């Protein structure tokens, strides 16, 4: 895999298309815990007719969780995209919140995985995009980074999916990406943490307030502050399982 640069104009067009297109549900991902529907997004505008695949997760299909507020997972998926987008990491596929055939939900562009990449080997490597994802998961307090949530693409990029259980006010990081635990942050990573802190304390705070609670925002800021003070990737906690189960 080689490092790629995302075209912001294409991402913005994807977001417009996801918002304005007609969603037609054609299938369901049966292994998913919540209703995860495979859909086609059809768009007709001055650029012509086009259609592309997407994932649609209606709030009505979210399974209640004991530790997350009911009906909040779609917001967390959307906020994860926004944080990735604002930080210019582009680790989450274009994602919006919108109405659909089964009510309001998260709609995310479908990304084809590079079938030549063996995920069971790839996730253990020192690939720089995996390291970026590990830092992103720390910021978002991701409780469920599984191997199967990694989407390497044929053009050398890496996406992550399934960010519904993020931003909890308690520390709940569970991930398969522990290979940098205890490793000092680079200057660029420290800059990303500072930029993320600014998002939650000023520049994007009003948007974020519409998606998660004030307590979760404060906990995110405290978590980033602690990361900056410690100066290195966090170590697995002995107080909860460090790896999600099943890991794939």
- Using DSSP bridges, classify how beta strands 105-109 and 158-160 pair: parallel, antiparallel or unpaired: unpaired
244 is a domain residue: no
Q: Is the pLDDT of residue 3 over 50?
A: no
69 is a domain residue: yes
Which range marks the domain in which residue 183 is found? 8-230
Number of domains forming the structure of the chain = 1
Task: Please confirm whether the linkage preceding 246 is cis (ω < 30° from 0).
Answer: yes
pLDDT band at 31 (very low <50, low <70, confident <90, very high): confident
pLDDT tens readout for residues 111-165: 999 999 999 999 999 999 999 999 999 999 999 999 999 999 999 999 999 999 9
Q: Is the pLDDT of residue 1 over 80?
A: no
Q: Is the pLDDT of residue 166 over 60?
A: yes
Q: Is the pLDDT of residue 41 over 60?
A: yes
Q: Does the reported pTM lie above 0.85?
A: yes
C-alpha torsion angle, residues 200, 206, 208, 212 (rounded to 10): 110
166 is a domain residue: yes
| Summary mean pLDDT of the chain | 95
The alpha carbon of residue 202 and the mean position of all alpha carbons in its chain are separated, in whole angstroms, by 21
240 is a domain residue: no
Decide: 145 and 119 in contact? Cβ < 8 Å: no
243 is a domain residue: no
Which of 5-9, 37-41, 240-244: highest mean pLDDT? 37-41
pLDDT band at 2 (very low <50, low <70, confident <90, very high): very low
| pLDDT score of 73 | 97
238 is a domain residue: no
Q: Name the H helices within 174-233.
A: 187-198, 205-209, 214-230
Dist. CA 91–CA 5, nearest whole Å:
11
| pLDDT score of 8 | 77
| pLDDT score of 237 | 86
| pLDDT score of 4 | 56
pLDDT tens readout for residues 186-227: 999 999 999 999 999 998 999 999 999 999 999 999 999 999
Q: Is the pLDDT of residue 44 over 60?
A: yes
């Amino acid at each position: 895999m080689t490092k790629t640069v995302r075209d912001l104009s294409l991402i913005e067009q994807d977001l417009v298309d996801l918002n304005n297109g007609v969603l037609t549900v054609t299938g369901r991902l049966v292994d998913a815990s919540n209703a995860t529907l495979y859909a086609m997004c059809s768009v007709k505008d001055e650029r012509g007719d086009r259609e592309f695949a997407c994932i649609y997760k209606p709030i009505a299909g979210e399974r209640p969780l004991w530790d997350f507020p009911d009906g909040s997972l779609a917001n967390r998926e959307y906020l994860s995209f926004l944080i990735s987008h604002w930080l210019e990491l582009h680790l989450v596929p274009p994602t919006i919140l919108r109405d659909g055939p089964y009510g309001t939900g998260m709609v995310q562009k479908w990304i084809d995985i590079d079938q030549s990449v063996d995920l069971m080997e790839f996730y253990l490597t020192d690939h720089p995009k995996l390291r970026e994802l590990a830092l992103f998961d720390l910021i978002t307090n991701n409780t469920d980074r599984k191997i199967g949530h990694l989407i390497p693409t044929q053009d050398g990029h890496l996406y992550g999916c399934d960010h519904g259980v993020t931003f909890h006010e308690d520390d709940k990081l569970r991930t398969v990406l522990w290979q940098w635990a205890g490793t000092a942050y680079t200057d660029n990573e420290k800059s990303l943490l500072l930029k993320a802190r600014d998002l939650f304390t000023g520049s994007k705070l009003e948007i974020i307030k519409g998606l998660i609670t004030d307590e979760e925002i404060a906990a995110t800021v405290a978590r980033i502050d602690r990361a900056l003070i410690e100066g290195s990737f966090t170590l697995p906690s002995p107080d909860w399982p460090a790896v999600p189960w099943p890991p794939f």
